[in-house]
Amino acid sequence: AMIMFAQYVPGGTFGRAVAMAEDVTALAKRCAATARDSPDCLKPLDRIFLDTVCQEENLPRFTDCCAKKDPERNDCFLSLKNSSRGFVSPFERPQAEAACKNHSQHQHPLTGYFIYEVSRRHPFLYAPTILSVAIRYDEMMRNCCGSAEDPTRNLEECFRRQAPKVMKPVKEDGLRQEHTCGILKKFGERTLKALKLAQISQKFPKADFATVNKLVTDIANMHKDCCRGDMLDCMHDREEILHYVCTNQDILSSKIKKCCDKPLLQRSECIVNAENDDKPAGLSPHVREFIEDKGICERFAREKDMHLARFLYEYARRHPEFSAQMLLRIGKGYEELLKECCKAGAPENCCSRGEEELKKHIYETESVMKTSCDIYKEKGDYYFQNELLMSFTKKMPQLTSAELIRFTKQMTTIGAKCCQLSPDKLLPCAEENLDLVLGEICRRHLAEPINPGVCQCCSSSYAFRRPCMGKLEMDENYVPLSLTPGLFTFHEDLCTTEEEKLQHKKQEMLVTLIKYKPQISQEQLTSVTAAFTAMRERCCGEGNRQACFGQEGPELIRRSEKLLLA
């Protein structure tokens, strides 16, 4: 109840959210004990919540919504949820000693306050995620504050180390949820269903098509409710899916028993992260019947999407080593093949070329990933990120340095995580994680357009988004930065001994250099970098570093400009 009120009324006070939550909880207790047939107990839950909000005084933002009848009233509240993003300032970590003192005196109210603060800042985040984060928060408070008496224990250090782990699910679940909602909003229910069909077929390869299709429909409906911000229906849908999965383990998977034994709040994440079940014995390696059967065109004409869904299901359950996005591209290729080969007058052996095209696409995708991993293994994190920075600054020079560094840092982390895996795990790991980063870039484009090339990749096809971004070259319409006096500045903070800070400053300069000279060649870049490194070493060895940079910096810019014009 607290989460619901904080998400619907983010501008309300903690005290008001507590009072509303207590009112609803008291009603629930009354209904459970005796008065089940009273009109209040028979109301749907969402109506009870909104009635409670609408009884509150001094909430002018909701007056118009409260005047409407359901379901319009609920839709009105959901539209306000959408417009309230950024309404509340970011969450700040409390000062350690004060937080521990508070925790020792008011443990339950403090956890409630944490739930309230996280909920109002994340109006679309699943309630189960917030509740599981609150459990982690409570554990952190007990761990750090329990040793507050120990004089050798550094409280601030304990909070600094554990806080990111506490907030990790908020960040990760929030990103995945936004990503899924972005796919639903931009590409529609058909694409989301195809994605879920590929993922579920891989996870539960022993399940029959009807069972997988039921799960796909239920999960797509859940996401529709969740993405609308309808948290009660979202939670109810999610719970029903978990119940179905855990009561049907025998026909779904032998790998989820441990997950189903966990408390309800931990089940969903566990099942999503569970390994794929083993393929059924005797499953043929090929799906030739979808190409060689004589009646394939009649079946496609009659069943359309259902026929394509069966193909995707059969192909995905046989190939756990492919990413879901690649499976969607294979499904799209199959659809195009049937459209062409089922036309009147198509050659007899038209469908047979599909296998060759399929092999070609698989080879291309695997080559791209292998090449990227070879570069990562050869160059390591910092230089691999620099390669990505050069590429993406040319593709998307309109992004800020901070954005380019952040996105390429995320891609580098994917390299570190996935390139060490066995070949059968590489593609799902790399492309599915990369898809999250590209989704973030596309949401950034939606908020503030980047350029026509990015627009084309973000809006034309979900399955082909990654190959499309990979093929983007330099933005020809970009007007390079002018060489103004403040474009490149050199200060004594370049002499820092903190390697991470120095690398970040050098990456900012690299981005600026490419925005100034997008056509820079590798040889020119190597020469400019060598000249910069020599200047930095010289000036950092001087007594008056700033004076040295003040003199040598402009000279370096003049020499580099000549070099770049050559």
Residue 40: its pLDDT value, please?
81
By the 10 Å C-beta count (0-12 exposed, 13-18 middle, 19+ buried), 215 is classed as: buried
Model confidence over 531-540: pLDDT tens digits? Answer: 999 999 999 9
Does the CA dihedral 110-112-118-120 come out positive or negative? negative
| DSSP code at position 520 | -
Residue 32: its pLDDT value, please?
82
In whole angstroms, what is the distance from residue 178 CA to residue 79 CA? 16
Looking at the predicted structure, is the pLDDT value of residue 428 above 70? Answer: yes
| Architecture of the domain whose range is 375-471 | Orthogonal Bundle (1.10)
Model confidence over 203-232: pLDDT tens digits? Answer: 999 999 999 999 999 999 999 998 888 888
Mean pLDDT score, 193-201: 98
Residue 68: its pLDDT value, please?
92
Q: What are the start and end residues of each CATH 1.10.246.10 domain in the chain?
A: 1-83, 96-147+155-181, 188-278, 375-471, 492-565
> What kind of fold does domain 188-278 have according to CATH?
Serum Albumin; Chain A, Domain 1 (1.10.246)
By the 10 Å C-beta count (0-12 exposed, 13-18 middle, 19+ buried), 247 is classed as: exposed
Q: Given pLDDT bands bounded at 50, 70 and 90, which one contains residue 79? A: confident
Of 9-18, 275-284, 452-461, give the lowest mean pLDDT range.
9-18
Looking at the predicted structure, is the pLDDT value of residue 189 above 90? Answer: yes
Looking at the predicted structure, is the pLDDT value of residue 148 above 70? Answer: no
Looking at the predicted structure, is the pLDDT value of residue 88 above 80? Answer: no
CATH number of 96-147+155-181: 1.10.246.10
Asked if 216 contacts 201 with a C-beta cutoff of 8 angstroms, the reply is: no
Mean pLDDT across the chain: 89
Asked if 489 contacts 410 with a C-beta cutoff of 8 angstroms, the reply is: no
- Binding positions for Zn(2+) are 230
Two structure tokens written together for 476? 């020809």
Mention every residue, 6+ apart, whose C-beta is less than 8 A from residue 333. 354, 357, 358, 361
**Domain boundaries 492-565, CATH class:** mainly alpha
Looking at the predicted structure, is the pLDDT value of residue 383 above 90? Answer: yes
Q: Per DSSP, which regions of 294-417 are E strands?
A: none
Looking at the predicted structure, is the pLDDT value of residue 84 above 60? Answer: no
Identify how many contiguous H helices and E strands the chain contains and give both numbers. 27, 0
Residue 530: its pLDDT value, please?
94
Residue 34: its pLDDT value, please?
75
- Binding positions are 230
In whole angstroms, what is the distance from residue 136 CA to residue 144 CA? 12
Q: Given pLDDT bands bounded at 50, 70 and 90, which one contains residue 299? A: very high
Q: Given pLDDT bands bounded at 50, 70 and 90, which one contains residue 99? A: confident
Q: Given pLDDT bands bounded at 50, 70 and 90, which one contains residue 349? A: confident
Residue 142: its pLDDT value, please?
86
Of 29-33, 36-40, 507-511, 561-565, give the lowest mean pLDDT range.
36-40
Asked if 222 contacts 241 with a C-beta cutoff of 8 angstroms, the reply is: yes
Residue 89: its pLDDT value, please?
57
Looking at the predicted structure, is the pLDDT value of residue 286 above 90? Answer: no
Based on its alpha-carbon atoms, the radius of gyration of the chain, rounded to whole angstroms, reads 28
Residue 44: its pLDDT value, please?
81
Residue 107: its pLDDT value, please?
66
Q: Given pLDDT bands bounded at 50, 70 and 90, which one contains residue 194? A: very high
CATH number of 1-83: 1.10.246.10
Residue 104: its pLDDT value, please?
74
- Binding positions for Ca(2+) are 230
